[in-house]
Structure 1
Amino acid sequence: MRDCCLITGASRGIGKTIAITLAQDYGLHILINYASNEAAALETVAEIEANGGTAELLQFKVQDYEETTTAIDSWIKSHPEDQIKVLVNNAGVTKDNLLVFMEKDDFNNVIDINLRGTYNVTKAVINHMVRKRYGRIVNVASLAGVKGVPGQTNYSASKGGMIAFTKSLAQEVAKRKITVNAVAPGFISTDMTKDLPEDELKKLIPMNRFGTPEEVAGTVSFLVSEKAAYITGEVININGGIS
């Protein structure tokens, strides 16, 4: 029997670093979810295996309920001896614009992937965890969901919804030894932030720097550990001191 961890959007960025970290820290078999970039997802698998871990690919679009449910259900049925003990909802996109210029599709797509995707994946996994009477769910939210960011009404709404989702679900499943928490990264050095004016934005951060994916992954690692067994429904900000 293998203890497994499903991470959505794990082909690059924060998701990739979380995957590598959890494989190293706990020996979890990592299920690398990706939507389309198979080459990048295979690179994540290769890095995990190079460090002595194990991983496999699990392709589905999180915003598609039927596709997500079918992929996860099929995996669970074909691996009856294995247990998905950890779920990290990390998949996310941005389509930034001021609301007066924001197109309907740009609002809907961000909500569909970031928030509806969190529902779709968690819904497919939660019954498995409830039956096993154990689980760790960590949702990767954002500073935008905590305090709002101008030009990101869609992204802020999706991540704010994810935080509310986290707090509600935590209360529903606590008696089954399932914890549900969120991390809220601020400005982290990834592909998603590479085009931002870093020198200007650093002035808003008390620590005067962007964070690293490893700093986010370290917090996620703590939340899935037994040291965090009495923590649920919480949001941990990882933003260098922005208030």
Structure 2
Amino acid sequence: MITGASRGIGLAIAQAFSQPDSEFDNIVLVARDGKRLDEAKQEVARIAGNKAVHTIVSDLGQPGFQNALFETVDALGLKLTSIINNAGFTAPCSYNDITEEDLDMTLQVNVKAPILIVRDARRRGHKLDYIVNISSTAGMNGRPNWTTYSASKAAILAASESMQEEFAPEGTEVLRISPGRCATDLRKTLAPDEDPTTIMQPSAVADGLRFMMSDQGKIIRHQNVVFR
């Protein structure tokens, strides 16, 4: 199950894990925009072959979203083995212009939602092999005008470390990745004047994650991996 799967890195990951040699039989795409999600499903289905592609419209910015999300997962008869927390939100501004509403939304989508998704999956008996929490280099080094975003991404890195320590005895691998500049819609919000053709593409992040989840990628799994 991939959140923020209708575009950018989320869509690229869905495409990568829908390849014929992927171990997954079902791909679950989660996003808030139903129209974009339908378009993403068509793109992924063209690659997926015999794999099943499911969509769930869910707004991670709404408190309690996880209840309906997992009710839909149950209705589909799916048992999740991997969760990729990719959805993100940002509203960059100068420090004095930060509003409580934007701060709450940033923390809700970027921190609370991943934690609650993992919690509810475990509570409902989903045996997870992998949890992937996508942070950012902005969570490692703060940027001017990105205070809320940087804080949220630093928080999910710390939460991921705690998850790894707690879940390791159960066999669950918790992966942390921090992409640098990547050509996504969110990046356009952060750096509107940047030429997206000059920076990393979402497919590169997807390929890197697929390597990390392969047998060869075991040696780098238990650290925050930066993609640039």
Distance in 1 between residues matched to 2:216 and 2:122, nearest whole Å: 22
Does 1:123 pair with 2:119? Answer: yes
* Pair 1:224 & 2:213 matched: yes
Q: Give the match for residue 29 of structure 2.
A: 32
Q: Does 1:15 align with 2:13?
A: no
Give distance in 1, aligned partners of 2:36 and 2:16: 17
Task: Give the match for residue 59 of structure 1.
Answer: 57
Shift of 1:73: 4.2
Q: Which stretch has the larger CA shift, 49-58 or 229-238?
A: 229-238
Task: Report what 2:144 is aligned to.
Answer: 150
Question: TM-score when scaled to structure 2?
Answer: 0.88
Query: Pick from 153, 159, 163: which aligns with 1:165?
Result: 159
Counterparts of 1:232 and 1:174 in 2: how far apart (Å)?
12
CA distance in 2, matches of 1:111, 1:67: 14
Q: Which residue of 1 aligns with 2:66?
A: 68
- Separation in 2, partners of 1:220, 1:128: 26
Q: Secondary structure at the match of 1:123?
A: helix
Aligned-partner SS, 1:138: strand
Aligned residues: 222
Shift of 1:229: 4.5
Structure 2 residues not aligned, in runs of 5+: none
Partner of 1:103: 99
Q: Which deviations, in whole Å up to 9, do the C-alpha atoms of 1:18-56 show, x marking residues without a partner? A: 111111151521111011x11111111111211124211
Alpha carbons of 1:231 and 1:69: their partners in 2 closer, same or farther (altered >3 Å)?
farther
Letter in 1 for 2:129: G
| Alpha-carbon offset, residue 216 of structure 1 | 0.6
Q: Tell me: CA distance 1:64–1:103, structure 2 relative to 1, closer, same or farther (3 Å).
A: closer
2:176 match: 182
Partner Cα separation in structure 2 for residue 60 and residue 142 of structure 1: 23
Counterpart of 2:135 (choices 137, 141, 145) is 141
Query: What value does the CA root-mean-square deviation take over the aligned residues?
Result: 2.2
**Where does the alignment leave 5 or more consecutive residues of structure 1 unmatched?**
1-5, 203-207
SS of 1:70's equivalent in the other structure is helix
2:52 alignment partner AA: T
Aligned equivalents of 2:44, 2:76: Cα separation in 1: 23
Q: Deviations over 1:63-115 (max 9, x none)?
A: 44533133214423651xx4311110001111001111211211111111111
Residue 172 of structure 1 aligns to a residue whose secondary structure is: helix
Percent identity over paired residues = 26
Distance in 2 (CA, whole Å) between partners of 1:231 and 1:86 is 18
Contact 1:22 1:221 survives alignment (8 Å): yes
SS at match of 1:188: coil
Aligned partners of 2:99, 2:64: CA distance in 1, in Å? 26
Shift of 1:232: 4.5
CA distance in 1, matches of 2:224, 2:67: 27
